[in-house]
Amino acid sequence: MSTSPERIVPTDLRNEMSRSYLEYAMSVIVGRALPDARDGLKPVHRRILYAMHELGLTADRPFRKCARVVGEVLGKYHPHGDTAVYDALVRMAQDFSMRAPLINGHGNFGSIDNDPPAAMRYTECRLQSLTMNALLRDIESDTVDFGDNFDGSQQEPLVLPAQIPQLLLNGSSGIAVGMATNIPPHNLGELIDGLTALIQNPELSDAELIRLIPGPDFPTGGQVLGTTGIREAYMTGRGSITMRGVASIETIEHRGRPDREAIIITELPYQTNKAALIEKIAEMVNEKRLEGISDIRDESDRDGMRIVIELKRDAYPRVVLNNLYKQTPIQANFGVNTLALVNGEPQTLSLKQCLQVFLDFRIETIIRRTRYELRKAEERDHLLQGLLIALTNLDAIINLIRHAADAPTAKQELINIYGLSEAQSDAILQMQLRRLTALEAEKIQQEHDDLQAQIANLQDILARRERILEIICTEVTQLKATHATPRRTVIEQAEGEIGDIDLIANEKALILLTEQGYIKRMPINTFEAQSRATRGKAGTRMKEDDGVEHFITCCDHDSVLFFSDRGVVYCLKAYQIPIGSRTSRGMPVVQMLPIPRNEKITSIVPVSEFSSDEYLVMLTCGGFVKKTALSAFSNIRTNGLIAISLEEGDQLRWVRRARVEDSIIIGSSQGMAIHFRADNDQLRPLGRATRGVKSMNLRSGDQLISMDILPASVVANIASGPDVEEEEELEAEEAVLAETQGPWVLVVTSSGYGKRVPVSQFRLQNRAGKGTIATKFKSRRAGDKLVALRVVNEEDELMIITSRGIIIRQAIKAISSQSRAATGVRVQRLDEDDAIAAVALVPPSAEGTDEEIEE
């Protein structure tokens, strides 16, 4: 017998692949990866809960083996691997994964350290009371549609009759084909408040809804930074929410060792693996990517989480914590994508749309439940009406039944004579003799009356939408009273963005720039204070023909303004300048600033704050001085900004900060100084692209070497005087020297001599005068000249650097107070061919440094 060959159908491969892939994609989207917007569940979760309901694993029944449940789900509803089912079951029992766990687990169900759960043959489970009350109640009351299972042998619910918005309560995450969903969990009480408000006012705005549901409530607690991401996610369905763990800084005690500061982490962001986090921090510490940490250990127990990060003694706790936030999962983003199935199609939903879809579904389930109850009540009442007819004609019906040949004959005669239905006739024939007593007859009449009232009530519910909404409100309010818990996640109003400056301690530092353009930053504690007239320490390693050009002290958070000889200003943050050791050369400044080859940095000014009442006073080599508002330099372009307009051959040399009440003191290399006010009479404010006015009338061969600012509190006590003073006035000043309390003008010469001169000895003069004598030089050292003229107080410290890079740090009070006519005392012992190059003051302790870092 021959068989006919199989029929081959030619098909376009492109169309076949497109159709097959589309069917596969829709199967994954609808049947596996995305939750239904109505009950918030994926098919696997729905099948697990329904199978447990069918097995009778309610909250008041004993636990049953998870393997029993998994077998039930696999055999009846879910034709996939047992691992997928068990993993889904486990997750619904984890209190760190679900805000309101749907399954009560008994045994090892994993941990926040990503430890795996025990095998399903060891663990046990049952349903939570919330699941019974809010997801499965009324499932037998025809509230939802059922469909065939995979082989048509069973019926399974296509959706559960949820009474709460489970999609938002526990959230969801899943990756389908070409789309993904990621919905954060929320607080049950807040969701119910939002739902009831939407019922009462369907036109509720998004802003009003967000006030009731302020943001996600993660099961692991933690913090959410800012409301911008939440608002965007709630209004558009997509957004990024910044989560942060809860950490505090504590002092911990060690036996036999000094107390240490430590960072204690008690809560982590949602879905953060604690063990992996600790491992990552340890790895970063070993690789020197995290500084200031000496030890890390996990002290978590059944009472809660506790990660202890011990800090080194010189570490700044807030800076270390900010670095942990920046570089580790202690701070993470939750990308919200509220994608769910609505009528079988994936849709991105806003917060209001999520609640509205659930509310529409809940109204439909109430209507279906009411219709079911009405049908059952009417069927029962129909039977009761037949029984009442039988009781009314009791003797005749008993006689009819006694004389009937058989039951079918009796049934038919009842239908024909009394107009009863088949169901009523069956009920009469099955009625027990005890129901014929007067008491039982009264009960039947009472039940009939009650059913009539119930039927009227159910018909009223179906006729009036407001009754349905009232029922929904009542039910969710009862659920809130029974199952709602306080919020765990704190929503911080501040955005909490961590910038680079938050990761740097605001320590005092030195910035050193050589003549050939090498720059570096050193912590100021590199140099401890030394006695006067000692040699000092090497501050930099330089080439033979190099020397120190600029030397300032500041704090790491300061903005550092670099002024060039061309009158252009550039800006860097102090912490952006690389740290160098005492003996390192530093980095070429041209690698950090866009300085042309023919341009040179001539002044460096640190600025903590660009206040509106401060000015920058600029002085050129040609003697021109001008005053420009500091705020004009608050936003400096990358390629610089013009600070002053210069004449041909002139150069910008000195720049200082001043207020309008202050005064300016300028020194020359031949030991002269002029002192005049910075007010608008002597020096009116000018814009950036201006030249300035003449500052001092110099002698032949003299040149300007320094400029400093005297504060207003000092200027008020200084008298005005003529441009040039006589020698006898210098002698008169010597007599009152001992009575001076400061501040002083520190005068330092290139040969290593210095002194403090009371500022009162420098009379206020008019700008452009010749000035007064500031110091006399030691005749034994030829070529001696004035190199620094700085205003100081007795509690200050100064740092002096020589042209060969030797640095000494010493207290101002170690330098004696002398008159203008004196030559001073030795402040630094110099090598044979060395000379003082620059002087800088150590900034006072930055008050509030820790507070600034915290902010």
- Please list the active-site residues: 122
**Separation between Cα atoms, residue 196 and residue 165, nearest integer Å:** 12
**Is 600 in a helix, a strand, or coil?**
coil
β-bridge partners, 333: 242
Cα–Cα distance measured from residue 305 to residue 220, given in angstroms and rounded to the nearest whole number? 10
DSSP class per residue in 109-178:
---TT-PPPPPTTT-EEEE-HHHIIIIITTTTTT-S-EEE-TTSSSEEESS---SS-HHHHT-EEEE-SS
The values of phi and psi at residue 808, to 5°, are -130, 140
- Alpha carbon distances (Å) from 516 to 89, 549, 602, 770: 70, 8, 12, 34
- Distances in Å between the Cα of 363 and the Cα atoms of 367, 471, 472, 724, 843 are 6, 9, 8, 98, 71
- Which CB contacts under 8 angstroms, 24+ apart, belong to 460-464? 461/366, 461/370, 462/367, 462/370, 462/371, 462/374
Encode 202-269 in three state secondary structure.
Answer: CCCCHHHHHHHCCCCCCCCCCEEECCHHHHHHHHHCEEEEEEECEEEEEEEEECCEEEEEEEEEEECC
Q: Which helix (H) or strand (E) holds 747?
A: strand 744-749
**Does residue 743 have a cis bond before it (omega within 30 degrees)?**
yes
Q: Are 807 and 519 in contact (CB under 8 A)?
A: no
Nearest to 36 by CA among 155, 161, 122, 153: 161
Kindly report the number of other CB atoms within 10 A of residue 179's CB atom.
16
**CB neighbours of 307 closer than 8 A, spacing ≥ 6?**
264, 265, 266, 274, 277, 278, 296, 297, 298, 299, 300
**Helices 407-418 and 422-430 meet at what angle, rounded to 10?**
120
CA dihedral 759→765→771→777, nearest 10 degrees, is -10
Rounded to whole angstroms, the Cα distance separating 109 from 353 reads: 34
Helix (H) or strand (E) holding 332: strand 331-337
Beta bridge partners of 380: none
C-alpha–C-alpha distance, residues 667 and 650, integer Å: 18
Which token pair is 788?
């620094």
361 contacts 55 by C-beta, under 8 angstroms: no
Triad 543, 591, 599: Cα angle to 5°? 75
| Residue 4: CB atoms within 10 Å | 5
- Residue 834 near residue 806 (C-beta atoms within 8 A): yes
Report how far residue 563's alpha carbon sits from residue 512's, in angstroms, rounded to the nearest whole number.
15
Residues facing residue 797 across a β-bridge: 811
Strands 744-749 and 806-811, by their bridges, are unpaired
Backbone φ, ψ for residue 672 (5° rounding): -100, 155
CA distance 838 to 807: 10
Helix (H) or strand (E) holding 474: helix 465-483
DSSP 301: B
Token reading at 356: 């509205």
